[in-house]
Chains A and B, each alone.
Chain A
């Protein structure tokens, strides 16, 4: 052992640099050491005396955004290790998709990401259209894009409100911002109600287009509502962005390393806040995004405040995009297929798989569908896998928590914007 070490050229030359051997090649330890804490820390080894406290946060907790359970190993209030436990909201959506026909699945996936159902519908139907080879008329593509953008505003508004709750609690300043963002979200839900008849689970997208056309006067109303929200966003900026406490709680908290984020498959605002300029709306346009210029806001901070800035900038951009599109919705049919009368109306006659992805408010929402070539089963997908962005964002948690105290963990978790319905599916 000693012979080997002394025979290595640099071992004695660079004092202070620790070397190690990986696969026969000598490399400095600091190159190997990751810039983030070890999420798989052995607690027994770290703390043989058992002085640490284990706190099970959730699944019943006001700030775990649903039914996430986070097992925290705490030294005082400082987290040593964090293990998220998922699956409390698992409803077997993917398995259910293997029993339902293509046209029946849309209302099911509405409940996945229950904060932005429109983008769920869009994602799954895009995959089905690619599978069965259905065209989408231009008018339908416009309506889809407008809905997706309005939904993005609504989703980010909800995030901003709940983020305030995470920091201030329901009784206090956080509650105030929550109430106001929900007031604005209400306007958007009213818009969707006028369009589809439902406030939450719309079931408006279908294979080959949309089921509901824009009613008379809806476009003007939507433009007006978006204008109102645009001005109210300025109020929130005054209320939150320059709030000393808000800054103290978010700046420098929950730093996400872009390298780590890419490794874990994180996408959406979380990745863009770390300085990675990726947006599927611009990079691989779908629906009507190829007809409009999208500005992608990015921040280099990587902390909770950067994520807040990115989401607010995205809201403004979405308002602009939706307003612009509302002005030029083309005439024409809204669905390329005949109105569906029976569940078996849409069939895939081959067993190939397709993967399509959209930019949901939380990131890359992908769908992988395999058709069933068997004649009796051809209206039912063989396999339907949903790649949810929240799931991947949540993987960051064990890396972000160690070294922070409980307050920061709550804020970090909130800033990742996980929707448990989508994580567990």
Chain B
């Protein structure tokens, strides 16, 4: 789908994609709760609507009714700016990711770079929230977040460089096109492709603060980390951003490593993209509900001592591969 006027195109498509993503995110919370319930031998939400399907709506309504607290000693401007900014930063990544052939808000020729650059901006609202809350737990959470982002950003970039080199383009739709016909970068080149995907996936988990890297939040240590002082819908926005980020990770990974809409049979692209994205999405839930949390220094040691050399090796390998094969 496309319009001739780029403004109309961006607005219409952006509105559709953003809202669909928000809807998926809302229902992913329902799904995750059901999924976690099954993992923990309990039913999950069952009360609101059939199979608890209206639970996300009830959750949001409840959050909106909560008292909106701003601590007296908080830096009010930054404190109130942080939650919407997290959502804004995460949503803007969606602009460069194609969900089907032609379904892309802005097909930038530096799409991957844009996505990664905007994604790494995500640490600023978190740090803002931690600093502006004027709470010791929040401050520690913000500190951890900053330290963590410095550690994982480089391996993340390196792992995303592998598909860029293989496809010879920064444009995400080009990267997907290069994989058409089953040449998925996760499986081709065999071995290193999968390693690059795993590296990308783990670093993205760290970026979105999911278990086992949810160190800035760490509710058993830092009460709730950066979101300790937030209540009501501001807290809800942090949660929304986290889930949205997880969804976008799955989308990006599906596009960069699993051939996007490529798949057997005639289709318009949505089906395969949805299947791949949701599979990765469920994988993230699965990891979340089976692992504990790393310590911050362990995460950093892992990033610097293992991920970074691995990322460099993968980049060199893919350069050689492109040159030789």
Interface residues of A (CB under 8 A from B): 53, 55, 61-63, 76-77, 164-176, 179-180, 183, 239, 243, 245-246, 248-249, 405-408, 410
Contact = CB atoms under 8 A, between A and B. Distances in A.
B223 A176 contact: no
B317 interface: no
A168 B292 CA distance: 4
A245 B214 CA distance: 13
A175 B289 contact: yes
Interface residues of B, number: 31
Contact of A406 (B219, B221, B291, B294): B221
A21 B39 CA distance: 63
B108 interface: no
A245 B220 contact: no
A168 B136 contact: no
Nearest to B295: A407
A176 B219 contact: no
23 contacts: A61-B223, A62-B219, A62-B220, A164-B292, A165-B220, A166-B220, A167-B292, A168-B220, A168-B293, A169-B220, A172-B289, A173-B211, A176-B40, A176-B290, A183-B41, A243-B291, A245-B212, A405-B295, A406-B140, A407-B221, A407-B293, A410-B220, A410-B221
Contact of A172 (B144, B221, B293): B293
Contacts of A61: 223
Q: Kindly name the residue among A168, A180, A248, A410 whose own CB sees the greatest number of chain B CB atoms within 10 A.
A: A168
Contacts of A77: 140, 143-144, 296
Contacts of A183: 41
A199 B144 CA distance: 43
A263 to B, nearest CB: 29
Given A53-B136, A76-B143, 7 more contacts: A62-B219, A63-B220, A173-B289, A174-B220, A245-B292, A245-B293, A407-B293
B40 A167 contact: no
A166 B222 CA distance: 11
B323 interface: no
B298 interface: yes
A63 B223 CA distance: 8
Contacts of B290: 173, 176, 239, 243
Contacts of B221: 63, 406-407, 410
Contacts of B222: 406
B268 interface: no
Q: Kindly name the residue among A169, A180, A183, A246 whose own CB sees the greatest number of chain B CB atoms within 10 A.
A: A169
Across the A-B interface, give the 4 residue pairs with the lowest CB-CB distance, nearest first: A168-B292, A179-B40, A167-B292, A172-B211
Nearest to B210: A172
Nearest to A55: B136
Contacts of A249: 292-295, 298
